[in-house]
């Protein structure tokens, strides 16, 4: 059972909520303390509104059928009327190219995810790669920061007033389960109370880090234990929603439970979801260093959809030999799709913060533009699916599949 209602982080009450430095674009000691304890920080007006507003106009050049920007009556739970809405993984188009997500992805729960914008270099420059944001990320993560090459585009969450009696139905706390080291959200419009605000479960990153066998990648020891810990968090932690204005940013630890927010308002929430990684150099002849394999996922339904089985960071996927004809897809709307190297947890010293900079070394612009993963692997976007037997070989002795080259 989830604790409700959510608590709202209003901009005017940041100091009262223990976040006194939200107007400072730099990482402060207060930010570091809040991030370590609660798993997130907020920065107000980090990107100027005039940089972002043109992209909202661009978004509305191709609205979903039946949704009109100037007519709020068309905004109310349009997912009930969308005939081409899908779940997160299909169905496949006849040419096999509609894999994982459509460029303009519509969901039954009234979300419009304009992933196509996330592949526009000018949009990336205005959002994920904006200088003040990259500086803040570099101060948090440290190391050599990988410059974002795409992001997930604009996620628009429509009002669902029919759920006002039980708004918690709209919350779906989760981890993204992809190879990212920091994520968050950037607002492109005003977001008020219960208006679709990005929602987090403060402090949940700590018990979930305890569940992982790795430091950077979330690799749970046991699915059952992970689900039990998640249920415990939902039962005892009050979720917090991040209200704000154009240009406001929330950055969150990748192991922090989060969700699309409750929207029983009369507005649409427009946000860009942010993903960040460091550069992981590969020493000569050392297969353990650098980036590992691409994160493929195998679908149980041959027509698209169904359950997902993830190819693990070591390049293996535990499926029977007869699964070779199943389709494998890549979440092309993500920038971070290659597993970083194995990073064992540091139980002593700084523990979960051993690999984080947390302001120790000032930002110096140590940012590198790596080759995008889709270019590295010779893939178009959206990519077509692959059959498991075409990208992996079955290991009879181990009873699992191994990606070619691993």
The two three-digit tokens of residue 137, written as one number:
């990320």
Residues 296-313 have pLDDT tens digits of 999 887 666 667 888 888
Please name every residue paired with 241 in a beta bridge, in sequence order, or none if there are none: 8, 199
3-class DSSP assignment, residue 122 = helix
Which tokens go with 125? 């420059």
Q: Give backbone dihedrals phi and psi of 197, rounded to 5 degrees, phi first.
A: -65, 140
Write down the pLDDT at residue 135.
97
Q: What pLDDT score does 90 carry?
A: 44
**What contacts 146, CB < 8 A, 6 or more positions away?**
276, 277, 278, 279, 367, 368, 370
Judge contact between 223 and 166, C-beta under 8 A: no
Give the lowest-confidence range in 82-86, 271-275, 327-331: 82-86
Q: How confident is the model at residue 87 (pLDDT cuts 50, 70, 90)?
A: very low
300 preceded by a cis bond (ω within 30 of 0): no
Number of CB atoms found within 10 A of residue 12's CB = 7
Bin 60: left if φ > 0, else alpha if -120 < ψ < 50, else beta: alpha
From the CA atom positions of the chain, what is the Rg in Å? 21
Judged by phi (left if over 0) then psi (alpha if -120 to 50, else beta), residue 402 lies in beta
92 pLDDT more than 60: no
What is the tens place of the pLDDT at every residue in 189-236?
999 999 999 999 999 999 999 999 888 888 888 889 999 999 999 999
What percent of the chain stands above pLDDT 70? 90
pLDDT of residue 286: 47
- pLDDT band per the 50, 70, 90 thresholds, residue 100: low
Tokens 């976040």 locate to: 19
Report pLDDT for 285: 45
Domains along the sequence of the chain with CATH? 7-278 (2.60.120.620), 292-340+375-406 (no CATH)
Which tops the pLDDT comparison, 282 or 354?
354
Chain-centre distance for alpha carbon 261: 14
The more confidently predicted of residues 4 and 130 is 130
Using one digit for the tens of pLDDT, what is the confidence trace for 280-294?
Answer: 865 444 444 466 788
């Amino acid at each position: 059972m989830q604790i409700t209602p959510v608590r709202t982080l209003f901009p005017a009450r940041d100091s009262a909520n223990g976040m006194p430095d939200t107007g400072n674009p730099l990482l402060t000691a207060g930010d570091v303390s809040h991030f370590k304890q609660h798993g997130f920080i907020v920065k107000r007006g980090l990107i100027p509104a005039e940089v972002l507003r043109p992209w909202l106009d661009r978004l509305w050049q191709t609205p979903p059928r039946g949704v009109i920007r100037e007519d709020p009556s068309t905004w109310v739970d349009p997912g009930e009327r969308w005939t081409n809405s899908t779940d997160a993984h299909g169905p496949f188009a006849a040419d096999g190219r509609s894999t994982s997500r459509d460029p303009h992805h519509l969901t039954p729960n009234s979300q419009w995810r304009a992933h196509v914008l996330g592949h526009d270099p000018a949009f990336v420059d205005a959002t994920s790669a904006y200088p003040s944001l990259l500086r803040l990320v570099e101060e948090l993560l440290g190391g050599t920061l990988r410059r974002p090459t795409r992001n997930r585009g604009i996620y628009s969450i429509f009002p669902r007033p029919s759920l006002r009696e039980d708004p918690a139905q709209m919350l779906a706390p989760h981890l993204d389960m992809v190879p990212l080291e920091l994520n968050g959200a950037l607002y492109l419009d005003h977001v008020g109370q219960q208006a679709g605000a990005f929602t987090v479960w403060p402090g949940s990153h700590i018990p979930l880090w305890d569940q992982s066998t790795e430091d950077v990648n979330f690799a749970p020891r046991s699915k059952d234990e992970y689900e039990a810990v998640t249920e415990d968090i939902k039962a005892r932690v009050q979720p917090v929603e991040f209200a704000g204005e154009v240009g406001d940013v929330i950055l969150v630890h990748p192991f922090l439970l989060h969700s699309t927010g409750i929207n029983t308002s009369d507005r649409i929430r427009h946000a860009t979801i942010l993903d960040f990684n460091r550069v992981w150099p590969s020493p000569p002849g050392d297969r353990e260093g650098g980036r590992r394999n691409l994160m493929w996922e195998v679908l149980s339904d041959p027509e698209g959809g169904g359950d997902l089985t993830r190819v693990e960071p070591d390049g293996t996927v535990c499926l029977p030999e007869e699964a070779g004809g199943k389709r494998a897809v890549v979440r092309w709307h993500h920038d971070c799709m290659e597993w970083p190297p194995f990073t064992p947890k540091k139980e002593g010293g700084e523990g979960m913060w051993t690999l984080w900079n947390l302001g120790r070394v000032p930002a110096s612009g140590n940012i590198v533009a790596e080759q995008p993963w889709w270019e590295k692997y010779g893939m178009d976007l959206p990519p077509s699916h692959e059959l498991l037997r075409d990208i992996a070989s079955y290991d009879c002795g181990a009873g699992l599949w191994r990606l070619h080259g691993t």
